[in-house]
Amino acid sequence: MRIIPVASGKGGTGKSLIAANLGVAFAQAGQRVILADLDLGASNLHLVLGYQSPKTGIGTFLNDTKSDFNKIIVDTDVRGLRFIPGDTEIPGMANLKAFQLKALVRRFLAFKEEADILILDLGAGTHQSILDFFLLSGQGIVVSSPAVTAVLNAYVFLKNTMFRLMYTTFAKGSPARAFLEKTRKEGSGPQKLYIPKMLPEIKKIDRGSYDKLKNHISQFHPRLLMNLIDDPKDADVANKIRRSCEEYLDLKIEHLGVMYRDVFQDTALASRLPILLYKPQSVLSQAIYRIADKILESEADNYIPDEKQIEESFQEAGVEAEIDFEAKMDYVEDLLHSGALSTGDLVETVKSQQLEITKLKKENNFLKLKLSNAMTKGFNP
């Protein structure tokens, strides 16, 4: 059974949309799929699938970990796809206790005989339980958009994941764990983590832990997915995340592809249908099918891409961005000519995108100001 965690550094990147529609695509391809909503405390995956707020969900099980887990699993209208709702009603549910996390992981791993793919729609952010769920697989998906804050948060998510991987790899009482704890206490925790400098120190003081960590890192190859792009140039942002991961985290990431912003997604959501079922021929739907095919065509969960394959994945994503942009323009033109999309609809779409651009400019100016202030303080201690 493949485990595919879907995460993001911040909300609003379309993570749940991607998780739900990938589930549909895999099921349509003949896979037995279980889709779990682990965005505990802010669960909304049921809305993408077109269901009312569930009466029971993962929160129900976590309140009684000895209860029958199968009672909270829901059959969907898509053959081969089952759904495990999250929980929005129980305060503090996002902060799982250790025994709750272990109980949930045991239940998930028990699906190996009845499911081919388990998709975990994780909450946004870097809470410890989110990182632990993401590390259940060597090839989790990190969703970002071209927005500056989304890109920064995607990198921070991967940075915190690496720190968590190190922490769980080093045994309690080991020299490596002591070094990690000391580094964190001195203020060089996840926010200042620079693994290429830390690894030689760990190797000197604890060779066993070092070898174990290098083995874990070699099997950890998260995949990046750029969503909500408006222009082929937006796809280039992925290279910034890639370079930062390689330089500061000693981490190789693969590019799964790009997805354009689609005006029909909101309509599909209002119609209580995944976009794959509402508009299977749309540019967005075709991108999701393409991404699902890439995942299915790769080896099992232990697949490790080499340097050439990683480079090719980024080049391929750039080409796909150009092709999809042309297809998107042709699609809009066809809709205008057919009357399915009115001029008013197009005007509203342009207005909404202008508002989004304005918002991104403000975020960019704010970050530039913070960077300028930080540099000023650095030069004038």
pLDDT tens string 192-235 = 568 888 999 999 999 999 999 999 998 899 999 999 998 888 88
Give pLDDT < 50 ranges for the chain. Answer: 189, 191, 379-381
Neighbours of 310 (CB within 10 A): 17
CB-based contact 249:331 (threshold 8 Å): no
For residue 131, which of 100, 160, 155, 88 has the smallest C-alpha distance?
Answer: 160
This prediction has a pTM of 0.83
Domain 2-154+221-325 CATH superfamily: P-loop containing nucleotide triphosphate hydrolases (3.40.50.300)
Ramachandran category for residue 360: left, alpha or beta (phi over 0 → left; psi -120 to 50 → alpha): alpha
For residue 229, which of 221, 220, 238 has the smallest C-alpha distance?
Answer: 238
**In this predicted structure, what is the pLDDT of residue 362?**
65
Query: Measured between alpha carbons, how far is 218 from 235 in angstroms, rounded to an integer?
Result: 26
Helices (H), 170-206: 175-185, 195-205
**What is the DSSP secondary-structure string of 269-324?**
HHTTS-HHHH-TTSHHHHHHHHHHHHHHHS-STT----HHHHHHHHHHHHHHHHHH
DSSP state of 80: T
**In this predicted structure, what is the pLDDT of residue 122?**
93
**In this predicted structure, what is the pLDDT of residue 10?**
83
Report the chain's C-alpha Rg in angstroms: 21
Strands (E), 133-277: 141-144, 223-229, 254-260
Can you name the residues that pair with 257 across neighbouring β-strands? 225
Paired tokens of 54:
């569930």
Strands (E), the chain: 2-8, 33-38, 74-75, 81-84, 117-122, 141-144, 223-229, 254-260
Q: Alpha carbon 287 to chain centroid distance?
A: 16
For residue 147, which of 369, 367, 375 has the smallest C-alpha distance?
Answer: 367
Largest Cα span, the chain: 70
